[in-house]
């Protein structure tokens, strides 16, 4: 199946890719606005997932399992959506469908009156991310071939986090005005969701085939790089070692659901303040993405050593009973997420040729999903058992991940 909007070349003539109507940086920026609006939607909802589920009767273990399962859905299902996007070549269609699913699920979450319904919608919202992400990351990877991998993904992630800042602040404001009523707080998020879909459709009309950016930049595409072709190259060994490193960092990484549960259960801050703290964490996310993205383009994958260090510091800080230390822990958590969402993705694009990239992103995310679910459940259960044990386990896992990062660099050498 050919990508929408393309025409097959005449017999005996080479295929020609139409020049995009936007520059590579303009494409990244407009796509960044789309992500900004959609982050406004789903990060606004995620900022109160822990308190919302607790309000409906969930324990810390349930919050950890559900939020971990949501991340597993967001990541693990890409094992299917990634290869399907590569084979069909319909990267735009997968991207639009995934954004639409998320835009619909979030306002409904505010209307959920039962724990099972809320848990289902939390996971459904994450399924939308699974549907779109491999295709979206592939579209972006083409443009970042011209802008610089680290910087392109970092700028996109930083723009994400503007929305991730505005969404939680909006939810916090509505909760404060309505006496912690989740229905209007999440219902208002339908507006940026509609705006994001409208802008995405306009961007698709402007740039039908973003692969032209990578072709112009002179990046190798790899054998059989076109959609639906057979005989595509195997994923390199360095990719698999790198995926193992990433999985280890997530296995010992607490979800914000468990962090926010701690804040509310220990009566450290009011419920309406939790989204404000989440917004601050997203600001730290943006700054960390920009910093590590710039460093990645100059220093390479060695900059990723910061991720295990940040991940190990989170439980040491966030699960105390001193408010300012807990706040610092939440900011460190946000910085770690910024590295995960930008520089980790940029490295995949450098490890894998064009024709297998959506598949690689899908497999990479699937491995991350299994680790995220295990990590969410592990931290939630250990929180109920013993916080010192939780801290010890997380630090040990992050130390092991440093060995895998060294092995990744050895494979690439």
Place of tokens 């990244």: 28
Alpha-carbon distance 358 to 362, whole Å?
A: 6
Cα–Cα distance measured from residue 292 to residue 222, given in angstroms and rounded to the nearest whole number: 27
pLDDT classification of 412: cutoffs 50, 70, 90: low
Tell which residue, 288, 294, 141, has the closest CA to residue 213. 141
Are residues 279 and 169 in contact, defined by beta-carbon separation less than 8 angstroms? Answer: yes
SS3 148: coil
Residue range 289-341, pLDDT digits in tens: 888 888 888 877 778 888 989 988 988 898 888 888 989 999 999 999 888 87
Section 109-122 average pLDDT: 84
**Rounded to whole angstroms, how far apart are CA atoms 19 and 196?**
25
Instruction: Give mean pLDDT, residues 383-405.
Output: 86
Q: What is the pLDDT of residue 97?
A: 93
Task: Kindly tell me if the per-residue pLDDT of 173 is higher than 80.
Answer: yes
Q: Which residues contact 193 (CB under 8 A, 6 or more apart)?
A: 37, 38, 41, 99, 102, 103, 104, 106, 107
pLDDT digits (tens, 9 = 90+) for 196-231: 999 999 999 888 888 888 766 555 444 333 444 444
Q: 236 phi and psi, to 5 degrees? A: -65, 155
Would you tell me how many other CB atoms lie within 10 Å of the CB of residue 12? 5
What does the mean pLDDT of the chain come to?
A: 81
The reported pLDDT for the residue numbered 195 is 94
Q: What is the C-alpha separation between 190 and 88, in angstroms, rounded?
A: 30
- What would the pLDDT profile of 338-393 be if each residue is shown by its tens digit? 888 778 878 888 888 777 888 888 888 778 777 877 887 888 888 888 888 888 88
pTM over 0.95: no
What pLDDT does residue 18 have?
59
Phi and psi (nearest 5°) for 266? -90, 5
Asked whether residue 29 carries a pLDDT value surpassing 70, the answer given is yes
**Average pLDDT in the 78-85 region?**
85
CA distances from 8 to 12, 88, 151, 221, 347 (A): 11, 15, 34, 19, 32
Cβ partners under 8 Å of residue 68, min gap 6: 255, 372, 373, 374, 375, 376, 377, 380
pLDDT at 83: 86
Q: What is the pLDDT of residues 237-276, one digit of tens each?
A: 888 888 888 888 888 787 787 888 888 888 888 877 887 8
184, exposed or middle or buried, with CB in 10 Å at 0-12, 13-18, 19+?
middle
Question: Does residue 192 have a pLDDT over 90?
Answer: yes
């Amino acid at each position: 199946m050919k990508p929408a909007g393309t025409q097959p070349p005449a017999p005996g003539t080479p295929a020609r890719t139409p020049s995009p109507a936007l520059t590579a940086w303009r494409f990244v920026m407009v796509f960044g606005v789309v992500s900004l609006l959609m982050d406004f939607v789903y990060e606004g909802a995620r900022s109160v997932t822990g308190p919302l589920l607790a309000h409906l009767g969930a324990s810390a273990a349930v919050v950890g399992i559900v939020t971990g399962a949501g991340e597993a859905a967001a990541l693990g299902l890409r094992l299917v959506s990634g290869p399907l996007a590569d084979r069909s070549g319909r990267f735009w269609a997968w991207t639009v469908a995934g954004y639409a699913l998320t835009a619909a699920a979030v306002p409904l979450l505010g209307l959920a009156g039962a724990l099972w319904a809320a848990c289902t919608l939390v996971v459904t919202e994450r399924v939308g991310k699974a549907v779109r992400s491999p295709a979206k990351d592939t579209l972006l990877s083409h443009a970042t071939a011209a802008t610089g991998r680290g910087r392109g993904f970092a700028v996109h992630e930083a723009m994400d986090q503007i929305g991730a800042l505005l969404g939680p602040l909006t939810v916090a404001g509505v909760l404060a005005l309505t006496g912690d009523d989740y229905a209007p707080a999440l219902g208002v998020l339908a507006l940026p969701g509609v705006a994001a879909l409208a802008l995405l459709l306009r961007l698709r009309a402007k740039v039908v085939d973003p692969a032209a950016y990578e072709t112009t930049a002179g990046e190798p595409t790899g054998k059989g790089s076109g959609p639906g072709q057979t005989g595509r190259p195997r994923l390199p060994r360095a990719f698999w070692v790198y995926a193992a490193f990433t999985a280890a960092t997530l296995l010992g990484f607490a979800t914000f659901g468990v962090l926010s549960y701690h804040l509310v259960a220990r009566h450290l801050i009011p419920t309406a303040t939790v989204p404000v703290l989440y917004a601050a964490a997203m600001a730290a996310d943006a700054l960390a993405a920009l910093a590590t993205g710039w460093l990645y383009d100059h220093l390479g994958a060695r900059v990723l050593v910061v991720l295990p260090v940040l991940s190990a510091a989170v439980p040491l800080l966030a699960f105390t009973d001193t408010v300012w230390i807990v706040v610092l822990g939440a900011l460190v958590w946000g910085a770690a997420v910024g590295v995960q969402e930008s520089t980790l993705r940029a490295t995949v694009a450098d490890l894998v040729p064009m024709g297998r990239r959506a598949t690689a992103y899908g497999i990479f995310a699937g491995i991350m999903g299994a680790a995220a679910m295990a990590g969410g459940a592990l931290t939630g259960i250990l929180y109920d058992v013993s916080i010192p044990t939780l801290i010890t386990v997380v630090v040990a896992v992050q130390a092991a991940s440093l060995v895998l990062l060294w092995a990744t660099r050895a494979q690439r050498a």
